[in-house]
Structure formats: C-alpha cells, structure tokens
A and B are shown apart, each in its own frame.
Chain A
Amino acid sequence: MNSINNSRRNFIKTAGTLAIDSTLPISLVELAFAESSQNFTFAYISDAHIQHIKDNRFVRNWDRGLIRAVAEANLLVPKPDFVMFGGDLAQLGSKPELDHGAQILSALHGNVHYVMGEHDYYLDLGKYWEKLFGPQYYSFDHKGVHFVVLNSIKTYDDWTFKRWPTTEQRMLEMAGLDNPNGSPFMVGDEQRLWLKNDLAKVTKDTPVVVFSHSPLQKIYKGWNFWTEDAEQVQALLKPFNKVSVIYGHVHQIQYNQIGNISFNSVMATAWPWPYPQSYAQAEQYLPKLTVPMNRADPFFERDATGWQFINMANGNADLNFTLYDNTSRIVRHNRKQKRPEDAVYQDEKARIVPQTHY
C-alpha cells in the first residue's frame, strides 16, 4: 500500500527480533559465532590512487572517492572493530601522494591496518610507506580470528634491482597494464618462510584471514591479477579449516573458492577496471563463481567504485559492497555450498541483462 510502511515493516522484520538498538547497516544481524563477543565487522577501503599533479594540487576525482568512503565508513553502526586499507594509496609512490592519502585516512575513526600496493612500493621499495604505516607484512589476532597481512606485490630481484636506470622509471613500468616490461607479482621466499613460522603457532580450527594486494590466485597475468607463487602460498594455508583471502588491486568484485580457501576482492575508490574477459584477447581465468557488474556509466565518476564492510560470521567473511549509482551487492559465504556467492545475482535468472550497444 505504501512503500515507506513496507520498508519499515521489512526493516523491523530483519532487525527487530534481534533487538538491535543501533541499526545501521541492517544486514549485520546475521552473526553466528557461538559467543556473541566474537561476532564483529570491519570496514575495508582500497585502491585510492591519490595522484599528485604539482604543488598542492591532486587529482580531484581520486581525492573525492577516498574522502567519501572514509566519511561513510565512519557512519557504520555497529561500529566496525577496525578498518583495513587494501593498498595503492598512492599512484606513483611519492611522498606528497602518501602524505596526502594518509591525511585523508586520518579522519577514520578507530584502528586502521594497511596493506602495501605496487603503486605505493616501487618508487622507494616501501621505505616512506613504512615510516607512515609500519611493517610491510605482519599478523594480528582479533576475537578468535588470525589475521595475516602480506606484501604480495614484490617481484624478481633482477627486475627490481638491476633493470632500471631510475626508481621513477621502475615505478612507472610496474604501474602499466599489458606492459611487456612488467613483471609478475609474488610474495617471495622470505615472506613465505615467515608465513610458515607465523601459522605454525595457530591451531588448525582458528579462522585465518589473509589480506594481500594482489589476488593470491592466478586470474590474468597481463594486468597482474596474478601472484606468481600463489600455489605455494595456498599450500601453506591448506591445513586450516577456514581460510579467507581478501585482496584489492583488481578494482572490481571477484570471488572464488579453491579447496578450503575463499577468495574475495574489494572495490577501489578510484576507478573500475573492466572484467578481463570483456577486454582481453588472451586466455584468462576469471573465477567461475564471479558475477560481473554492469558496465560503469562514465558520467558518474564514482560509478563502479565503492568500499565495503566485512562481516566475520562463524569465521567466514561476508562482504557488503557500498556501490555508487549502482545497486549495492553482498557476496556472502554460502554455508551449504561452502563457497562465497553473490546474495542476489548468482542465479542466472536474477542477473541484470547486459546492455546492448549498437
């Protein structure tokens, strides 16, 4: 009869029975840890690509994307336990870019953990970033979940140290897509050894969540939707009952399940990338479970960008995407199928028909 009354009824149906006083976002009510003290959420903002023009001028569009995500993440109720920033804060790794980005992120309420992206790294190999944000890889425990942060965007030493006359050129070469001078990302021997030792202290039934910038799976090499030693990293994660890998870099929604490991990507606040299958001539391996988003409207600079909050429910990650000028989406861990799935669009019949162009 009346849309407001209807929406309010639905709202009460969803939230009312659980007597949640603070109400935003509604979808947070589905929590399943045995002890409610272990139910929690965290926000995830990624790929801001803050870009310096000159003097005190920065690209407005990237600034506004990050500013908006920060302001919205601060409105989450219940308050997230912490915020992740998923890498590529800067575009070309310079001090002004990292400083400017850090200043915008400083408006976030609560604890923030940072992941290294290639755009932050290849100018000075993360030296200034470390000063601002701390070590490049580390782990922490929170409410019964073991969190690991990796720097997954390293590459062969030969490429990093011997190939380029200047660090600026090294940065630019790694920033390019489809660049024959590029080099595949990897976690590398040193971090894998560290990871092995770190995980040795964790019981096998502890949920493990790994944050990386690049996907710890092989999707599309030309754009480094790729980690060269992904299989070796996956092997280290295999003994655990519940493992989630959450990565940035791809600027689009992807999700996948490989054995015991659930993979989820997060959105960028800067710009969207098209899905490789719609672009590349070469073979690619976009995860089969992934439902592509509709094409972005170039007028709305925020379209097909966004951020997300993540609901740790029963040790699995449910991703709630806030998307602009687009329909918000939820990629939830399907407990029965034991894999992440889009809450609405997974069923072929429920999908939005792609636009036809003439």
Chain B
Amino acid sequence: MRYALLLHLVLTALFVYQQASANPQAEPAVVNPQSSVTDKNNLLGLPPVPIPANNPQTADKIALGDKLFHDKRFSVDGTVSCANCHNDKLAFTDGLPVSVGHHGLTGTRNAPTVLNAAFNPSQFWDGREPDLEGQAKQPLINPVEHGLANHEPILEITRTDPYYSTAFQSVFGVSGKKITMDHVAQAIASFERTLISGNSAFDRYYFKGQADAMTEAQVRGFDLFIGQGRCVSCHTIEQDHALFTDGRFHNIGVGINQIQQDVPRLAQAFLEAKNKGGNVDNMVLTDKKSSELGRFAVTDELSQIGAFKTPTLRNVELTAPYMHDGSLKTLKEVMVHYNNGGVGKTDEPINDFLSGGIRPLNLTEPQLDDLVDFMKALTSSKYAKPATSLKGNSP
C-alpha cells in the first residue's frame, strides 16, 4: 500500500518536473500540480506547489529524499528517522502529544504533519526556519531528537553507502567530500514537496459545487467556521484554493497559560542565553518552559510572546493530539478552548499576551459539534478512513 502511494507520488513529481523543465525561464520555479493528469483529483483545492528555483524537482531526487527520510542510521543510536515522528501511516505525524527521540527522550512540541508542509511560508511551530531545506537539518542534531552532535555521521554514511554514492552522483553530480548537508536537505525537501494532499469533502463542496459532498452538520459547521466561530480569519480560505492557514503567529492561550508568572524571568534568561550564542533549536526543544515563549524566541519581539504558527487544518482529523504542545486530545477540546476565548476552563486566567483575535465566541454545544464535524470534511479522500468517508465520494 505504501509502495503504491510512493509510486503514485513519484509519478506525480516526475510529471511536475517535466512541466518545470519544459519552461526553464520560469522564475521562481512554481509549477502547477493541478495540471498533473496522474493525480489531478488529489490536488483539488490546493494552489500550485512552490518549488524553489535552486532545488527543482526530479524523480531521482525525490526517490533519494524518500530514502533519506526513512533512514534510521541518521541518529545517535540508529533508531530515529524522520519518519519516526512523521509516520507515513499516521498522516505523517506520530499521534503523540510531543515527539519521542532517541532513547525515549521527549521534546516539547507536537510533530506537525508533513502533508502540505510544502505550502508553509515558514517551518517549525515558531517558524524558525524559512523552508523545508532548512527544517530538515535541525532535528538530526537536536539533543532530544536524532541526537547527533553534528552532521558528520550522516555525511559519512552518504559518502560510503553504495546506494547513496550512486544516487548523490546521479542527482547532484557529487561524490565523496563534495556531498554536503545542503544536498541531503534538498533531497529530503524535494521528497516532502510531493507529500501534498487536497481533495477533501470540503474541496468538492466548495470548489466543485457538489452540494452533497458535505453532510448537513458539516455545512452548518462551515457556516460557523466563516461566521460566528471566526476560524477563517487565521485558517484562511481563498477564492480558488484553501490552505487553512495564514502562515502567521498568534498567542491563542495554549502553553503560555501555564507559565504566566515565569514569563519575565524566562524572557530575560532566554535572551541572555541567546546573546551568548545559545542555539534556539536546542533551547526551545529541551526546556519546556522556554518552549512556551513561542515566536518570541525567534524574533525577540515582545508582541510575539507565546505566539505559534497557525497550522493547516487539512487532514486535522488524523493528526490528534492538537496544538503546538499536543495538550488538547480531541477536536472538541480545541473548539471549547476557542469558544472560551483562549482558556480551557472559563475560570482560568487569560494570559496577558493573548492575541487580539481570540475572544469568547458564545457558541452552543451543538454548534461546537458542528464545527468538529466540519473538521472531518477536511480529510483528503486519499487518507480518509472508510468509516468517515462519505458515500460516493471516493475519487
């Protein structure tokens, strides 16, 4: 089943690549995957995948990236690959509140799905890397993830392993010492750019005008999503596509609520450590409390304290638990949190730095349930479980 999927993806990517190479003048290299006849349905509701000009898609590169993505040798104890936390079978997440690295060590943040990550204008919950290439390098050398001290062991393997030697030679035209982490990251990123998936019940309802694609409850939920629930202001829907994220950072009262008294101490200590050369990636993933400073840790801006990136909602049904710290188990809990205006319980103190978009919504229980139902309309048919897929909707 997985191989079928991969073949499928490779074919798609190959087609995309051919399109791109047919038009070498196109700068930046953005191709329209919707023109792909092989997988047209899967892309319904998505914009063209942005492909960086310096890292065009090729079938060989994608296959190499796939291999690298699943290689457990790239860790301190040989047990951790990218796919540990971004598991193909779990919609490229791990189903855990926070990710588990080598020797059972845990980080501080919930593994986001790789599906459609290619569209994110920045990577990681705090956006500390601008692109997939930059992102791919970090977990490998994080002390609680892959746990390597530096990238050398990975390069050693790629330089000596027969498969990799051949592959890097054919994809990048390099071998031996000429293979760098940039090549490794580019291949992984290319593979990840094939992990895109639209075509949910919502897409068929909204972009194809299939009135019966969503259930009545889902239609009610959609009305709330763009109305009283105020969801759409951050989880955006455009006229001809929907990524369900504004790519921006908001303090929505998750995580930060538990460390409010510590913020002055943490903020100052964090900046002092950063100024002395501390590594942000290590600091936010190894210290739970510093992690909650959110985007502030990246920009040093007071207005970003406790702010995290808006995640896409596509396939959200499959990516529990929720929020940057995995602290909410169900979609219903998420709705309750928002309905309360940024707190889990109405008598909890609101954090001082709460985003101005978050306020009590006065939604009723049935309305919250409708919103949860609507979330389930955002699952791509490709990943929909039989029980939740609607009759007559398979592509």
CA distance in complex: A22, B268 (Å): 7
Contact A68–B353 (Cβ < 8 Å): yes
Contact A4 B129 (CB under 8 A): yes
A161 in the interface (beta carbon within 8 A): no
Query: What CA separation (Å) do A312 and B350 show in the bound complex?
Result: 34
**Closest residue of chain B to A306, judged by CB?**
B303
Q: Is B184 among interface residues, defined by CB-CB distance under 8 A?
A: no
Contact among A1, A11, A15, A302 for B356, CB-based, below 8 A: A302
Q: Is the CB of A8 within 8 A of B274?
A: yes
Interchain Cβ contacts within 8 Å, total number: 102
On whether A3 and B134 interact (CB within 8 A), knowing A11-B274, A68-B353, the answer reads: yes
Question: A323 — nearest CB in chain B belongs to which residue?
Answer: B303
Q: A4-B129, A74-B264, A328-B303 are in contact. Are A68 and B352 (CB under 8 A)?
A: yes
Please report the C-alpha to C-alpha distance between residue A71 and residue B305 in the assembled complex, in whole angstroms. Answer: 11
Q: Which residues of B contact A4 (CB under 8 A)?
A: 128-129, 279-281, 298
How many Å lie between the Cα of A22 and that of B300 in the bound state?
13
0/1 string, B239-276, CB within 8 A of A gives 1: 00000000010000000000000011001100110110
Within 8 A of A (CB), among B348-387: 350, 352-357, 359
The 0/1 profile, CB within 8 Å of B marked 1, for residues 1-42 of chain A is 111100110011001100001111110000000000000000
Expressed in whole angstroms, the Cα–Cα distance for A303 and B248 within the complex equals 14
CB distance from B297 to the nearest CB of A (A): 9
Structural contact, A23 and B271, CB atoms closer than 8 A: yes
B388 at the A interface (CB under 8 A): no
B347 at interface by CB-CB < 8 Å = no
Which single member of A2, A24, A67, A303 contacts B267 (CB below 8 Å)? Answer: A24
B16 to A: closest C-beta gap in Å: 26
- Chain A residues within 8 Å of B350, by CB: 64
Kindly identify, within residues 120 to 147 of chain B, every residue whose CB is under 8 Å from any CB belonging to chain A. 128-130, 134, 137
Which residue in chain B gives the minimum CB-CB distance to A70? B352
- Assess whether A344 is interfacial by the CB under 8 Å rule: no
Whether A258 is near chain B, meaning CB under 8 Å from some CB there, is: no
The answer to the question of B7 belonging to the interface, with a C-beta cut-off of 8 Å to chain A, is: no
Given known A-B contacts A7-B298, A24-B300, A322-B302, A75 and B267 have beta carbons under 8 A apart: yes
Could you say which residues of chain A place their CB within 8 Å of the CB of B264? 74-75
Contact call A77/B128, Cβ cutoff below 8 A:
no
Encode contact with B along A294-326: 1 for CB under 8 Å, 0 otherwise: 000001111101100000000000000011110
Q: What are the residues of chain A within 8 A of B300 when measuring CB–CB?
A: 11, 23-26
Residues of A within 8 A of B162 (CB): none
Q: Which residues of B contact A25 (CB under 8 A)?
A: 300, 302
In the assembled complex, A168 has its CB within 8 A of some CB on chain B: no
Q: Known contacts A4-B298, A301-B359: does B303 contact A71 (CB below 8 Å)?
A: no
**Cβ contact within 8 Å between A67 and B352:** yes
Is A72 touching B268 in the complex (CB atoms < 8 A)? no
Does B230 count as interface, using CB distance less than 8 angstroms?
A: yes
Q: Is the CB of B355 within 8 A of A302?
A: yes
Most buried by B among A4, A21, A22, A60: A4
Chain B residues with Cβ under 8 A from A77's Cβ? 268, 271
Contact B280 A299 (CB under 8 A): no
Q: Are A3 and B129 touching (Cβ within 8 A)?
A: yes
Bound form: Cα–Cα A71–B299 in Å: 18
Interface size on B, residues (CB 8 A): 35
Number of chain A residues close to chain B: CB under 8 A: 41
Nearest Cβ in chain A — how far from B27, in angstroms?
A: 21
Smallest Cβ-Cβ distance to B354: which chain A residue: A64
Beta-carbon nearest neighbor of A7 in chain B: B298
Which chain A residue has the least Cβ–Cβ distance from B230?
A: A299
Are A300 and B356 also in contact (CB < 8 A) when A7-B298, A11-B300 are? yes
- Chain A: which residue is nearest B123 at the CB level? A3
Provide the B214-239 mask, 1 if CB < 8 A to any CB of A, else 0: 00000000000000001001000000
Q: A68 vs B281: C-alpha distance in the bound complex, in angstroms?
A: 27
Q: Which residue of A lies closest to B260 (CB)?
A: A71
Contact B355 A300 (CB under 8 A): yes
Partner of B275, one of A16, A68, A306: A16
Give the complex CA separation of A325 and B310 in angstroms.
Answer: 13
A287 CB to closest chain B CB, in angstroms?
A: 26
| Contact residue among B134, B272, B303, B359 (Cβ-Cβ distance under 8 Å from A21) | B272
Chain A: CB-nearest residue to B274 = A8
Residues of B within 8 A of A302 (CB): 355-356
Q: Which residues of A contact B267 (CB under 8 A)?
A: 24, 75
> Is the beta-carbon distance between B130 and A3 smaller than 8 angstroms?
yes
Is B104 in contact with chain A by the CB < 8 A criterion?
Answer: no
Q: How far, in whole Å, are A137 and B301 apart by their CA atoms in the complex?
A: 34
Does B395 reach chain A (CB closer than 8 Å)?
A: no
B356 neighbours in A (Cβ, 8 Å): 61, 64-65, 300-303, 305, 324-325
A1 to B137, CA, bound (A): 11
Contacting pair B359 A3 (CB below 8 A):
no
Are B275 and A12 within 8 A (Cβ)? yes
Residue of B130, B268, B275, B302 ringed by the most chain A CB atoms within 10 A: B302
Contact A75 B263 (CB under 8 A): yes
Question: Can you report 14 A-B residue pairs in the complex whose CB atoms are below 8 A from each other?
Answer: A2-B134, A3-B129, A8-B277, A22-B272, A24-B302, A61-B356, A65-B356, A71-B352, A72-B302, A72-B305, A75-B268, A301-B359, A303-B356, A306-B303
List the 8 closest A-B pairs by CB distance, nearest first. Answer: A302-B356, A71-B352, A301-B356, A299-B233, A72-B302, A23-B271, A300-B356, A23-B275
What residues of chain B have their CB less than 8 Å away from a CB belonging to chain A?
A: 128-130, 134, 137, 230, 233, 248, 263-264, 267-268, 271-272, 274-275, 277, 279-281, 298-303, 305, 350, 352-357, 359
Q: A25-B300, A323-B303 are in contact. List 18 more A-B contacts (CB 8 A).
A: A2-B134, A3-B128, A3-B129, A4-B281, A24-B267, A24-B300, A64-B350, A71-B352, A71-B353, A72-B303, A72-B305, A72-B352, A72-B353, A75-B268, A300-B356, A302-B355, A302-B356, A306-B303
